[in-house]
Structure 1
Amino acid sequence: METSVRSHQGEVFVHSLANPGAAGICPEMLEVAEEASRAGNFDLAVEIYSSQLADLHQPDRGLCLRKADTLARAGRISEALDSYCLAASLGKLRPEELPLLVETITRTLREKELGIPGTLNGLSKSSNGEDGIETDGDGGDDEALDLFSCRLCKYLLHEPTTVECGHTFCKRCLEDMSVEECIQCKHKLSKKDGLPNGRRLNVVLSGLLDKLFAAESKSRKFWVEGEVLWKNQKFSDALEKYNAAVDLAPSSSRLLCQRVELHMEMRNFSLAAQDANSLCRIKPLWTKAHLLKATALSKSGRNDEALQEYLVCVALKPDWTKVKLEAQKVREHPLVASRGNTAGMDPQQSSTLPPNCTDLVGESLVSRTLMCFFCSRISARCHMTGFFYVVMFSKDETSSFQMAAVCSARMVPADLLDIGDMECSLCMRLFYEPVATPCGHTFCLKCLERCLDHNPNCPLCKENLSEYLATRGYNKTLLMEEVLQRYLGDELAERKKIHEEEMKELSNLNQEVPIFVCTMAFPTIPCPLHVFEPRYRLMIRRSMETGTKQFGMCIADDLKGFADYGCMLQVRDVKFFPDGRSVVDTIGVSRFKVLSHGQRDGYNTAKIEYLEDKKVEAEELVELRKLHDSVYEQANSWFTSLKDNMKSQILSHFGNLPSKDPDPQASPSGPAWCWWLLAVLPLENRAQLTILAMNSLKDRLIAIRRVLIFVTRKRPR
């Protein structure tokens, strides 16, 4: 007799067409059907198989299977089941004849009903070849991993601790897991964040979580206490804590899962089964939940129900070898406990059961699993309908489960979140760029920096923050920043607007220029500064933050506070010391005249106008060039005649004498060599200031020539 051989998933299946009533089968038409199926034209293939079956005096088993497989490929599962049932009535189905049906059902469930592409329940074959390994560590179960979840334990943050990179985790997770780097940004974490007593909880976030999620937060506290007691083998005390935690958060699947495991360890198998049943209702597609239920039922001696749950696990994870082995230990199968017995079924439904339906169940667990599909198609009262319900969700049921997953995300009660919960204790305004100190207190970044300018201790608890100040690791608390943006967006936008207006005002280098009162400075000449006063720390920082990187330098004045003329300095580099001091590398940019004196936050400010040399032309320019060249040669001669030790000091501090400019009027402040010379000549500040204030290059050159003549005559011979 003729047979058809085809390959599927690497296995070879042989469907016999030998049948006493097979005289009407047309091999050519079967070949057309096979070709149509390979081309993806399943409807045509089904039509051919149906036509061939209709021509037979009695159904052919192999042809029924071909039609069933094609219907399965087409996604017409209900019709495929009818065809498989018909084939089963003609002869016992073998496991190798049904994988296509299982694959189609699970693929349909994954992709069309649940929207899970490629894998089932988040599971796949592991790289080491073991089957059914759960890739996420918890079988895909998870309370919504939202803004307030710890990224280490994936639970609600408990005793939230902000590490130096700005990310926040449970304090216990950081300590118990000996975390060496942040899992979110890979930043290398210090062992104790610079404090002798270890990491501290973030006070603001801790209070916020307790307020917004009071029940869950308290439940999490009991949960953690229960885990500690369990670890110390104090099972009864641990169970009390878990009971209290579940009462406060009954829908927490992972909490319920742990109580199931605790019941199991305490040999409270009935209670474990009850909790596991609740767990399966909360997470119907979580394989671990069904495995826990199966184990608890098995330990309780309820083998029929246990096997049913094992079959659920196999359906959700077909390659889970461990569960297959566990299921083999359960000897009784609920459907065949009394072979052929249909007691409890509706007589009419019972009559529709194929004569050898119970023969479908053999020794193979795969065939047992598949049996449920046929039973549930035939009898709604079959013992296995519960299993079928899990595998074959209706669209309404699937939608409800998806909605449950969406609704499980934590929602912040709008009436509970108050702007007062998010105010800086220093400026009494909404946090802007919030940073958490190692001692756990939160401030605006700018507020904290200003406080540390004056004192290296926390403004609230007085904890010494010298090491924190030394590292200057002022990273924003990212969780706090996200809370502000998400729930107080309008208020934060207003706060940001105020800050930007302040920065705009500070960056106006005409109306309110910060003034460093210290020494003489000249255009193009380096001016290194040692900054240690708090007011100047603030001033330098603001000049960097605004992006101008400039401030004015003036000498002191007994009457006005600082002189009426000065030089703008450009910051090239800043080096900070652990105690907050800094060395600022600056260079002179341009001269200015002070129009009015002022103050801001302790340092001096001024309204200024910039100075430029008046340009000359024609004969005056010719005379200016001659004067320029003459004074330059005089300056070069003076410098060359200096002793080597004096020249070395000048060169180390100011560098070489700049070259002569081809056009002495090219720069608004005149030739650079003039300012170099003015800086190195032994002149008092007042005399230097007088020359700095000149807006005539000719006058400045004449003044410099007089000074050179004077210092040359006074040089000891």
Structure 2
Amino acid sequence: METGVMSHQGELFVHPLSNPGAPGICPEMLEVAEEANRARDFNLAVEIYSSQLADLQQPDRGLCLRKADSLARAGRISEALDSYCTAASLGKLRPEELPFLVENIARALREKEPGLTVAVNGHCKSSNGDDGFQMNGECEEDEALDLFSCRLCKCLLHEPTTVECGHTFCKRCLEDDSVKDCIHCKQKLSKKEKLPNGLRLNVVLSGLLDKLFATESRARKYWIEGEDLWKKQNLSDALEKYNAAVDLVPSSGRLLHQRAELHMEMRSFSQAVQDASSLCKLKPLWTKAHCLKATALSKAGRNDEALQEYFLCVALKPDWTKVKLEAQKVLSELFSSVFENEDLPTPVHPLQGGLATRLIKPPALLRSLRPLTQKPGSSSQDSEFSVTKSAPVDDSSSILPIVSPGKSDPAAGEGSTKNLADVLAALPAPTGGLKRKHSSDGPSEAFNTPSKLLRPDEASVFKKAAVWGGRTVPAELLDCGDMECSLCMRLFYEPVATPCGHTFCLKCLERCLDHNPNCPLCKENLSEYLANRGYNKTLLMEEVLQRYLGDELAERKKIHEEEMKELSNLNQEVPIFVCTMAFPTIPCPLHVFEPRYRLMIRRSMETGTKQFGMCIADELKGFADYGCMLQVRDVKFFPDGRSVVDTIGVSRFKVLSHGQRDGYNTAKIEYLEDKKVEGEELVELLKLHDSVYEQANSWFTSLKDNMKSQILSHFGNLPSKDPDPQASPSGPAWCWWLLAVLPLENRAQLTILAMTSLKDRLIAIRRVLIFVTRKRPR
């Protein structure tokens, strides 16, 4: 007999014929049948295959399989089983020969169970919006991920550790060498060996989780201890830890799943089945749970029950290749069992003769697929192929009926009484004869599924509750004291976590690091943290504050905004940098290293004004009564916190009152503008303006090359003459350029800066030019 591998044409698997040249086989008709399958006219293909088989003296195994596949794809499962059994009697069925039977039984399940349809169409969406099914077909999203879940292990955060980007994970998960990027933002994580003291847990979050979820935190601790013992192959001690964890949180799907796997490794298959059954009741739409139960049942030698779970897996996840292959393997073994284990007669031509000469199917197969062997209107007593009826299912069974074994399963529990036979009993049964038209008759009342099924809308609600639900935070356990900054003693605002695990308000931490590069609490050196300026907010802490302390956070934010508004008022309280002379339109680079000025520059950037005043020192008042506003163009930070600030002069001001804030000087000011002139005064002003400009240009041109190059490198070229000298409130830019490069003392420069008459300023500059020209060495 020919037993070659099936060929693949389009979407069809074509079984090879045992004897292609046998009398009665017509290749042209077989080609028509294959074309009918491609056109999805499966009933026509069945008719052709049946007529070809009827013309043969001995049935052809490949032809029987082709007919069986077409019957299965047409939804005529009962007749398909007859043909598969015939083929099995001629040669053992291989798993790869049964894909259509598995797929179509699973499809029948989906059509009859609205809850399964919702699960497949919805793809078991996880709480973060990702597809719950992985590429290997496993449904990763078994637990309801919430704010306090680690996105790496999908469990409650254990020893929460906040990384540079602000996201938080279990310390144990981050220690895994395979974790190189943040799963949220894809930012590269620092190498563990580069951290001076390794990964450090977030102290505030750790205490908060232990307080809010004390029981689950203890269970998670036992769970992790059990995993570590399991890795060391100390299985009995590991099981004790898992048992302790399950006692604390019996509804954890992942925990039950792992304990079931541990039972299987310890070869306690009945215990594994019990855990898997509990898991299926807990997570009825989780494919991985049903796969686990199927595997446990198979290991226990209960293949007929395992097959039912595999069918449900394929129904939930049609493209899960691994499970389909397992189902085909078990189904192949069930088909073969009758010929290997039972001494049953095989007729010369199984398709001929009456009921008494028909092939008898194996009892194990009947237990798994019994409703498919029944004809419309028949009962369990009047069919040779039937077995005892299923017991009615009470409406109080689980929301989505779970497949349970045909025989009593002590591990299944009371709520899991519905089996695959009950579900498939509602399928439309095939008509008696072979007709091209699909039977459209509805199922008989005798075969309606008695258990309560989910409507699609109900299934959606159930799915949403299961997947989107989260841990309940007891309101009485959470108070503001748990979320207070130890520096300002107020509720955290923009909380950031240091590498040593302590949490502070961003602004509080920055001010502390301005003075000392050590942690304010544990004194650990944070120089590298300061150098990287990795002040990213702890996102989990931020979310906790917004969700559970919203009113308190709103009040805290209001205070902060009022402070920012006050700081951004460039009339009432202008920050003053006491250093050097600055002039409008002239660049003024600054090297900032004092803590008070670090704070001042940072605030000017945060408020968005990007401005501050520059004044020279005054022995009596602290700083002079006149100055120039500077606009920040760029800031470059050094690793030790120092910075170089690129600024340019904007406008002049007069100090009305002196003050201080957080260590730096402030002032109430009024801005200065030149007084405009008209008529003859304007004509005289223009003549003076042109004259002084020519005088300034002549002086600059006459300078030695080395001095000229120094001026050009710092201040650039002499600005061009303005057509309208009064266009700017501060006067022509070339005046300020000249004042910045002329060798004058600060007090003399300050006097000219304070002038609000352009004429007076030009006269003063002319005097200086005359003086420096006379004094210049020849």
Q: Tell me the TM-score range normalised by the shorter chain.
A: 0.7 to 0.9
2:594 to 524, 528, 533: 533
Q: For residue 322 of structure 1, what is the aligned residue in structure 2? A: 326
Aligned: 1:293 with 2:293 = yes
1:324-363 CA deviation, whole Å, 9 max, x = no partner?
32454568989x99999xxxxxxxxxxxxxx899968469
Q: For residue 395 of structure 1, what is the aligned residue in structure 2? A: 453
Aligned: 1:466 with 2:527 = yes
Aligned residues: 636
Equivalences for residues 296-375 of structure 1 within 5 A: 296-302=296-302, 305-313=305-313, 315-316=315-316, 320-326=324-330, 328-329=332-333, 361=361, 370-372=369-371
| CA distance in 2 between partners of 1:573 and 1:101 (Å) | 68
Distance change >3 Å, CA 138–CA 238, structure 1 → 2? farther
Q: Is the 8 A contact 1:143 1:253 kept in 2?
A: yes
| CA distance in 2 between partners of 1:377 and 1:506 (Å) | 87
Q: For residue 168 of structure 1, what is the aligned residue in structure 2? A: 168
Q: Is the 8 A contact 1:307 1:333 kept in 2?
A: no
Distance change >3 Å, CA 67–CA 284, structure 1 → 2? same
1:493 to 554, 572, 580: 554
Equivalences for residues 625-636 of structure 1 within 5 A: 625-636=686-697
Q: For residue 57 of structure 2, what is the aligned residue in structure 1? A: none
1:415-474 CA deviation, whole Å, 9 max, x = no partner?
222122122111122211111111111111111111111111111111111111111111
Q: For residue 622 of structure 2, what is the aligned residue in structure 1? A: 561
| CA distance in 2 between partners of 1:212 and 1:441 (Å) | 19
| CA distance in 2 between partners of 1:228 and 1:657 (Å) | 75
The amino acid that maps onto 1:444 is C
> Cα distance, 1:107 vs. partner?
4.0
2:477 aligns to what SS in structure 1? coil
| CA distance in 2 between partners of 1:478 and 1:373 (Å) | 55
Q: Is the 8 A contact 1:110 1:119 kept in 2?
A: no
Q: For residue 108 of structure 1, what is the aligned residue in structure 2? A: 111
| CA distance in 2 between partners of 1:411 and 1:102 (Å) | 41
> Cα distance, 1:692 vs. partner?
0.5
Distance change >3 Å, CA 261–CA 86, structure 1 → 2? closer
| CA distance in 2 between partners of 1:299 and 1:99 (Å) | 20
Higher relative contact order (CA 8 A, sep 6+): 2
Q: Is the 8 A contact 1:194 1:468 kept in 2?
A: no
Q: Is the 8 A contact 2:596 2:662 kept in 1?
A: yes
> Cα distance, 1:100 vs. partner?
9.2
Q: Is the 8 A contact 2:390 2:422 kept in 1?
A: no
Q: For residue 344 of structure 1, what is the aligned residue in structure 2? A: none
2:766 to 705, 710, 715: 705
Q: Is the 8 A contact 2:334 2:362 kept in 1?
A: no
Distance change >3 Å, CA 96–CA 183, structure 1 → 2? closer
Q: Is the 8 A contact 1:524 1:589 kept in 2?
A: yes
TM-score by structure 1 length?
0.79
Equivalences for residues 512-661 of structure 1 within 5 A: 512-661=573-722
1:228-269 CA deviation, whole Å, 9 max, x = no partner?
111111112211111111111111111111111111212222
Q: For residue 62 of structure 2, what is the aligned residue in structure 1? A: none
Unaligned runs of 5+ residues in structure 2 are 1-28, 51-69, 88-97, 127-132, 345-354, 381-388, 393-404, 407-417, 425-448
Q: For residue 42 of structure 1, what is the aligned residue in structure 2? A: none
Q: For residue 32 of structure 1, what is the aligned residue in structure 2? A: none
Q: For residue 187 of structure 1, what is the aligned residue in structure 2? A: 187
Distance change >3 Å, CA 459–CA 563, structure 1 → 2? same
1:395 aligns to what SS in structure 2? coil
Q: Is the 8 A contact 1:525 1:675 kept in 2?
A: yes
1:380-410 CA deviation, whole Å, 9 max, x = no partner?
3396352346787733597495376158522
1:250 aligns to what SS in structure 2? coil
Q: For residue 151 of structure 1, what is the aligned residue in structure 2? A: 151
Q: Is the 8 A contact 1:141 1:254 kept in 2?
A: no
Q: For residue 748 of structure 2, what is the aligned residue in structure 1? A: 687
Q: Is the 8 A contact 2:120 2:316 kept in 1?
A: no
Unaligned runs of 5+ residues in structure 1 are 20-65, 73-82, 124-132, 341-354
| CA distance in 1 between partners of 2:71 and 2:549 (Å) | 61
1:116 aligns to what SS in structure 2? helix
Q: Is the 8 A contact 2:110 2:315 kept in 1?
A: no
1:351-378 CA deviation, whole Å, 9 max, x = no partner?
xxxx89996846997x985445567996
| CA distance in 1 between partners of 2:569 and 2:591 (Å) | 25
| CA distance in 1 between partners of 2:337 and 2:287 (Å) | 20
Q: Is the 8 A contact 2:290 2:313 kept in 1?
A: yes
Q: Is the 8 A contact 1:121 1:140 kept in 2?
A: no
- Larger mean CA deviation between 379-388 and 622-631 belongs to 379-388
| CA distance in 1 between partners of 2:177 and 2:744 (Å) | 66
TM-score by structure 2 length?
0.73
> Cα distance, 1:138 vs. partner?
4.2
Distance change >3 Å, CA 485–CA 339, structure 1 → 2? farther
> Cα distance, 1:609 vs. partner?
0.4
| CA distance in 1 between partners of 2:769 and 2:119 (Å) | 87
The amino acid that maps onto 2:575 is P
Q: For residue 178 of structure 2, what is the aligned residue in structure 1? A: 178
Q: RMSD in angstroms over aligned alpha carbons?
A: 3.9
> Cα distance, 1:10 vs. partner?
5.5
Q: Is the 8 A contact 2:116 2:315 kept in 1?
A: no
